[in-house]
C-alpha cells in the first residue's frame, strides 16, 4: 500500500495537509534544492504512517541527494517491501545500490523493475548502467536502445548509450549518440564532457578541448571535467595551463584519483619523476588497485630503469582493466627493452587492436621490428588515420608521421618515407625552442676552457678507479652496439645511458651570479675538488653492479665532458664511436627522441651541429694523451666483429672472452632506440643507408661538407 485509503491530514502545528499534498510539496522542495524542508515533510508523513511506501521511497531519494547512501538504500528497500509492484522503487533501488558499489543487489533490483514494467525507460536505463559497470557492454547497449526507442527524447539514455559505444571503440556511433543527447538538452554538461572524451580518444584533441570547455562553463566546479580538460591541454603541450587546471580540481577534491593520476602524468612529462611517484602513491592510497594509477607508477619505475618493477605494475593495471591499451603498449616497451621481442610485439599488437586510432601505439609497434608486406594492414590503418592528420593534436600527428616513415622505409618506399619524415620533423621542430647560437657557444667555451694549459698540470688529480667505461658519440652512431659487446663480458656491466655525470657537472659552480658555471668553473677547481668529482661519480656508478670490474655509461652526449672525465677519472676508459656522418645524421632525423635532441629535427641544423661535434672531438684528440680515448667505427665493427671486439675489450683492460661475439644473446635491459637491433646478429643493411635518400638530403650534405674528418 502506498498510503491509507482515507489519506488523513498530517497532525502538527502546520496547516492541514493530506499525505498526498505533503509528498507533492516535498517533491517541489526537492526539485528546488530544499532538501531539509523536503526531508521534514516526509518524516511527518512517516510519523503518522511508518509504512507509507511513497514517503519511504521519497525520503530515500532525498537522503541520496544529501549523500547518505546507506540510509537511502535502507529506506527505498523498505518501500519495495511494502509495495512490491512499484517499478520506480526497484529502479531507484537499482541505481542507489550501484552508486554504493553493490552491483549484485543493483542487478537484482533492476531486473525486478523491468519484470514489473518492461516498458519503463528509467528502469531500463538504470539496469543498463549496472551492466555497463559489470563490463557487459552488449546487454547495456541493448537496454539503452530499448529505453530511447520507448522515449526518443530521453537525453540521459542517449548519453549513456554514447558511453557504451565509446567504450567499445564505436566512436562515430558514440558521437551521434552524444549529439542526439545535446540536441535534446543543449546545456547537458555530462554529455559535453563525454563528447570531449570520445573526440580525445579519436585524436581530435582541439575539438575535445572545445567540448570540455563548454562543459566546464556549465559546471565550473566539476572535478571530472577539470581533469579531462587538463588531459587535453597536456596533449596539446601546454603544461603550465594543465597544472593550473589540475590544482583547481584537487582543491575541490584532494582525493580524486583521476586528478591525482593526471598530475602524476604531467610530472612525468616534466621529468619530475620523484614528484610523480609521490602523487601516484597518493592516488593508490585512495584506490589501491586503480589501473590508471598503477600504469602511471609503472612509467615512474620505467623512467628509473627499474624495468621488472615497471612491467609488474603494467600487468597489474591490465588485470584490473584488460582494455587499457596504454598499459599494453607500455608493457610492450618494457618487454622489448628486456629482450623479450616476440612478447613485446604481442603487447604492441594488443594495444593497436584496442585503440587503432592512437598513433603512439603504431610508432611503438613499427620501432620494435622491421615491417614486412605481412604488416600491410597496419600500414593501411595508419594511412587511413593520416587522411585526417590535420585534425590530430601535433604530438599525435608527429608520431603518426614518424611511424609511417619507418614503415615505408622498411618496405623500400623511400620517397614516401621521406615525405613523412620531413612533415614529422617540421612539426616537432615548430614546437622546440632551440637556440643554435648558445649551443654552438657551449662547444667553443668547452674547447677554450679545456686547453693544454688546463689539462697537463692536473693530470692524475682525479679518482683512481678503473670502474667506469664511457661509450660516447653522436646518437645513432653505434654506441648501443658497442656497449652490448662490452656488457657481454662476464666482468662487465652495461648501465645504459646515465645522466649522473651531467648532474654532477650542473653542480660545479653557478650557486650565485658571480660564480662561474661549467665549463669555466673548471679553472677554479683545486685538485682535491677534481678528485671528489670522480669519487662521487664512481659511487653512483657502483650502484648499478656490486661485483662488475667495469661498468659502462653510454650516454652519447658525454662527449661534452671528455676533458673532465680525463681529469676526474684518469683511469676510466673512454670509447668514441663513429659512423658515416650522413648515415648518422639521417638516422637521427629518422627518430623521434624521447629526450631532448633539439638539433635533430632540421637537416641544415643537424649538419651544422655535427660539424661542431666533430670539431670538439678533434680538439679532444689534440689535448688528450695518445691512446687515452679509443675511437672505433661502426662500419669496422660490422666488417670485422672479432677484431673490433678484441680492441674494445683490450682497451677496457679485460681479458678476451668469446661471449663478446655473441652479444645478441646477452640478456640485459636496453632502453635505447636500438634495443631490438642488438638482439640480432650483425647485419650490413644499414651501411650507406643515406644513399637511398640522397636526392632529399641536399641541406644536410651541404653542411656536412665542411665537417672535419675523424681518424681513419
Please compute, for residue 314, the number of CA atoms within 13 A of its CA located in the half-sphere on the CB side.
26
Q: How confident is the model at residue 487 (pLDDT cuts 50, 70, 90)?
A: very high
pLDDT at residue 406 in the model: 94
What is the arithmetic mean of pLDDT over 158-184? 96
Give the whole-angstrom CA distance, residue 161 versus residue 141: 6
Give the whole-angstrom CA distance, residue 682 versus residue 560: 29
| 406: in domain | no
What is the arithmetic mean of pLDDT over 184-206? 94
Comparing 479 with 682, which gets the higher pLDDT?
479
Under DSSP, the state recorded for 170 is: -
| 129: in domain | yes
- Sheet of strand 573-578: strand arrangement: 492-494, 550-553, 468-472, 573-578, 629-633
Give yes or no for residue 660 having a pLDDT over 50: yes
What is the arithmetic mean of pLDDT over 541-545? 94
Q: What is the largest CA-CA distance in the chain?
A: 111
pLDDT in tens, 411-430: 999 999 999 999 999 999 99
pLDDT in tens, 302-330: 988 899 999 999 999 999 999 999 999 99
Give the whole-angstrom CA distance, residue 48 versus residue 14: 14
pLDDT at residue 8 in the model: 45
Domain boundary among the residues 154, 183, 215 is at 215
Give yes or no for residue 712 having a pLDDT over 60: no
Mean pLDDT of the chain: 90
How many domains does the structure of the chain reveal? 2
pLDDT at residue 594 in the model: 77
pLDDT at residue 2 in the model: 35
What is the arithmetic mean of pLDDT over 587-593? 93
pLDDT at residue 316 in the model: 97
| 254: in domain | no
pLDDT in tens, 356-415: 989 999 999 998 778 887 767 888 889 999 998 988 888 899 999 999 999 999 999 999
Give the whole-angstrom CA distance, residue 403 versus residue 308: 27
What is the arithmetic mean of pLDDT over 644-651? 96
Give yes or no for residue 206 having a pLDDT over 70: yes
Q: Is the link from the previous residue into 519 a cis peptide, with omega within 30 of 0?
A: yes
Give the whole-angstrom CA distance, residue 440 versus residue 520: 15
User: Are the C-beta atoms of residues 670 and 337 closer than 8 Å to each other?
Assistant: yes
Q: How confident is the model at residue 683 (pLDDT cuts 50, 70, 90)?
A: low
User: Are the C-beta atoms of residues 258 and 224 closer than 8 Å to each other?
Assistant: yes
What is the arithmetic mean of pLDDT over 446-453? 90
Most confident of 253-257, 392-396, 454-458: 253-257
Give yes or no for residue 188 having a pLDDT over 50: yes
Give yes or no for residue 672 having a pLDDT over 80: no
pLDDT at residue 706 in the model: 60
Alpha-helical (H) ranges within 32-102 are: 35-48, 53-65, 69-82, 87-99
Dihedral in degrees, nearest 10, Cα atoms 482, 425, 604, 503:
-50
| 394: in domain | no
What is the arithmetic mean of pLDDT over 456-470? 88
Dihedral in degrees, nearest 10, Cα atoms 219, 224, 226, 231:
-150
User: Are the C-beta atoms of residues 352 and 361 closer than 8 Å to each other?
Assistant: yes
C-alpha cell at 326: 596504454
| 179: in domain | yes
- What's the CATH code of the domain at 127? 1.25.40.10
pLDDT at residue 369 in the model: 77
Give yes or no for residue 478 having a pLDDT over 50: yes
Give yes or no for residue 448 having a pLDDT over 60: yes
Alpha-helical (H) ranges within 100-238 are: 103-116, 121-133, 137-150, 155-167, 171-184, 189-201, 205-218, 223-235
- b/e per residue 200-219 (b: at least 16 CB within 10 A): bbbbbbebbbbbbebbbebb
| 301: in domain | no
| 270: in domain | no
pLDDT at residue 339 in the model: 84
| 346: in domain | no
Comparing 393 with 577, which gets the higher pLDDT?
577
Dihedral in degrees, nearest 10, Cα atoms 258, 263, 266, 271:
-130
Closest CA to 347 of 367, 330, 362: 330
- What's the CATH code of the domain at 592? 3.40.50.300
pLDDT at residue 13 in the model: 47
The CA-atom distances, in angstroms, between 677 and each of 55, 275, 357, 418, 665 are 72, 34, 27, 22, 12
Give yes or no for residue 3 having a pLDDT over 90: no
Q: What would you report as the CA-atom Rg of the chain, rounded to the nearest whole angstrom?
A: 33
Give the whole-angstrom CA distance, residue 283 versus residue 62: 31
Tell me which residue range forms the domain holding 127. 19-215
User: Are the C-beta atoms of residues 120 and 114 closer than 8 Å to each other?
Assistant: yes
pLDDT in tens, 620-639: 999 999 999 999 999 999 99
- b/e per residue 129-152 (b: at least 16 CB within 10 A): bbbbeeebbeebbbbbbbbbeebe
The 3-state DSSP class for residue 50 equals coil
Domain boundary among the residues 184, 215, 246 is at 215
Q: Which residue(s) pair with 632 in the sheet?
A: 577
User: Are the C-beta atoms of residues 496 and 554 closer than 8 Å to each other?
Assistant: yes
pLDDT at residue 521 in the model: 86
Most confident of 6-15, 235-244, 701-710: 235-244
Domain boundary among the residues 185, 215, 245 is at 215
Give the whole-number percent of the chain exceeding pLDDT 70. Answer: 93
Give the whole-angstrom CA distance, residue 157 versus residue 610: 60
pLDDT at residue 9 in the model: 45
pLDDT at residue 215 in the model: 97
Closest CA to 362 of 334, 320, 325, 390: 325
Amino acid at each position: 500500500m502506498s498510503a491509507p485509503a482515507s489519506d488523513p491530514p498530517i497532525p502538527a502545528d502546520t496547516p492541514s495537509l493530506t499525505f498526498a499534498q505533503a509528498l507533492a510539496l516535498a517533491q517541489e522542495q526537492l526539485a528546488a534544492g530544499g532538501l531539509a524542508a523536503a526531508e521534514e515533510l516526509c518524516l511527518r508523513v512517516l510519523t503518522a504512517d511508518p509504512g507509507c511506501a511513497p514517503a519511504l521511497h521519497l525520503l530515500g531519494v532525498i537522503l541520496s541527494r544529501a549523500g547518505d547512501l546507506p540510509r537511502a538504500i535502507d529506506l527505498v528497500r523498505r518501500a519495495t517491501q511494502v509495495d512490491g509492484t512499484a517499478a520506480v522503487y526497484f529502479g531507484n533501488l537499482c541505481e542507489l545500490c550501484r552508486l554504493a558499489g553493490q552491483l549484485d543487489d543493483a542487478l537484482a533490483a533492476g531486473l525486478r523493475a523491468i519484470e514489473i514494467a518492461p516498458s519503463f525507460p528509467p528502469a531500463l536505463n538504470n539496469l543498463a548502467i549496472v551492466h555497463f559497470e559489470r563490463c557487459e557492454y552488449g546487454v547495456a547497449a541493448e537496454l539503452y536502445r530499448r529505453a530511447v526507442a520507448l522515449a526518443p527524447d530521453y537525453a540521459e539514455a542517449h548519453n549513456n548509450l554514447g558511453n557504451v559505444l565509446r567504450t567499445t571503440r564505436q566512436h562515430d556511433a558514440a558521437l551521434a549518440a552524444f549529439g542526439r543527447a545535446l540536441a535534446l538538452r543543449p546545456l547537458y554538461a555530462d554529455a559535453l564532457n563525454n563528447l570531449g572524451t570520445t573526440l580525445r580518444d579519436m585524436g581530435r584533441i582541439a575539438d575535445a578541448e572545445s567540448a570540455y570547455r563548454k562543459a566546464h562553463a556549465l559546471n565550473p566546479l566539476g572535478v571530472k571535467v577539470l581533469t579531462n580538460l587538463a588531459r587535453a591541454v597536456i596533449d596539446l603541450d601546454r603544461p603550465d595551463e594543465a597544472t593550473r587546471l589540475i590544482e583547481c580540481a584537487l582543491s575541490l577534491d584532494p582525493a580524486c584519483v583521476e586528478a591525482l593520476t593526471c598530475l602524476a602524468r604531467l610530472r612525468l612529462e616534466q621529468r619530475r619523476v620523484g614528484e610523480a611517484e609521490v602523487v601516484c602513491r597518493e592516488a593508490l592510497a585512495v584506490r589501491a588497485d586503480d589501473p590508471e594509477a598503477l600504469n602511471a607508477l609503472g612509467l615512474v619505475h620505467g623512467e628509473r630503469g627499474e624495468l621488472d618493477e615497471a612491467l609488474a605494475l603494467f600487468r597489474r593495471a591490465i588485470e584490473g582493466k584488460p582494455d587499457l591499451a596504454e598499459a599494453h603498449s607500455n608493457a610492450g616497451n618494457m618487454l622489448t627493452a628486456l629482450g623479450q621481442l616476440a612478447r613485446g610485439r604481442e603487447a604492441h599488437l594488443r594495444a593497436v587492436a584496442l585503440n587503432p586510432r592512437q598513433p603512439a601505439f603504431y610508432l611503438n609497434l613499427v620501432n620494435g621490428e622491421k615491417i614486412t608486406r605481412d604488416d600491410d594492414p597496419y600500414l593501411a590503418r595508419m594511412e587511413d588515420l593520416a587522411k585526417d592528420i590535420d585534425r590530430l593534436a601535433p604530438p599525435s600527428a608527429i608520431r603518426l608521421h614518424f611511424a609511417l616513415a619507418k614503415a615505408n622505409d622498411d618496405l623500400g618506399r623511400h620517397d614516401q618515407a621521406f615525405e613523412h619524415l620531413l612533415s614529422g620533423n617540421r612539426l616537432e621542430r615548430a614546437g622546440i625552442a632551440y637556440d643554435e647560437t648558445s649551443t654552438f657557444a657551449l662547444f667553443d667555451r668547452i674547447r677554450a676552457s679545456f686547453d693544454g694549459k688546463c689539462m697537463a698540470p692536473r693530470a692524475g688529480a682525479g679518482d683512481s678507479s678503473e670502474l667506469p667505461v664511457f661509450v660516447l658519440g653522436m646518437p645513432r652512431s653505434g654506441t648501443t652496439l658497442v656497449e652490448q659487446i662490452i656488457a657481454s663480458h662476464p666482468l662487465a656491466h652495461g648501465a645504459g645511458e646515465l645522466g649522473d655525470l651531467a648532474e654532477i657537472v650542473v653542480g660545479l659552480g653557478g650557486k650565485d651570479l658571480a660564480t662561474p658555471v661549467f665549463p669555466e668553473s673548471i679553472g677554479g677547481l683545486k685538485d682535491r675538488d677534481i678528485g671528489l668529482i670522480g669519487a662521487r661519480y664512481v659511487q653512483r656508478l657502483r650502484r648499478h653492479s656490486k661485483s662488475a670490474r667495469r661498468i659502462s655509461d653510454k650516454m652519447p652526449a658525454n662527449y661534452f665532458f671528455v676533458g673532465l672525465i680525463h681529469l676526474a677519472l684518469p683511469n676510466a676508459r673512454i670509447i668514441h664511436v663513429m659512423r658515416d656522418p650522413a648515415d648518422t645524421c639521417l638516422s637521427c632525423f629518422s627518430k623521434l627522441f624521447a629526450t631532448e635532441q633539439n638539433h635533430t629535427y632540421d637537416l641544415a641544423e643537424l649538419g651544422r651541429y655535427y660539424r661542431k661535434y666533430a670539431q670538439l672531438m678533434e680538439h679532444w684528440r689534440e689535448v688528450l694523451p695518445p691512446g687515452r680515448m679509443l675511437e672505433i667505427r661502426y662500419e669496422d665493427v660490422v666488417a670485422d666483429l672479432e677484431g673490433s671486439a678484441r680492441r674494445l675489450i683490450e682497451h677496457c683492460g679485460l681479458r678476451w672472452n668469446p661471449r663478446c661475439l655473441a652479444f645478441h644473446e646477452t640478456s640485459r635491459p636496453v632502453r635505447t632506440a636500438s634495443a631490438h637491433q642488438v638482439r640480432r646478429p650483425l647485419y650490413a643493411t644499414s651501411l650507406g643507408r643515406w644513399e637511398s635518400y640522397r636526392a632529399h638530403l641536399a641541406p644536410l650534405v651541404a653542411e656536412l661538407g665542411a665537417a672535419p674528418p675523424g681518424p681513419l
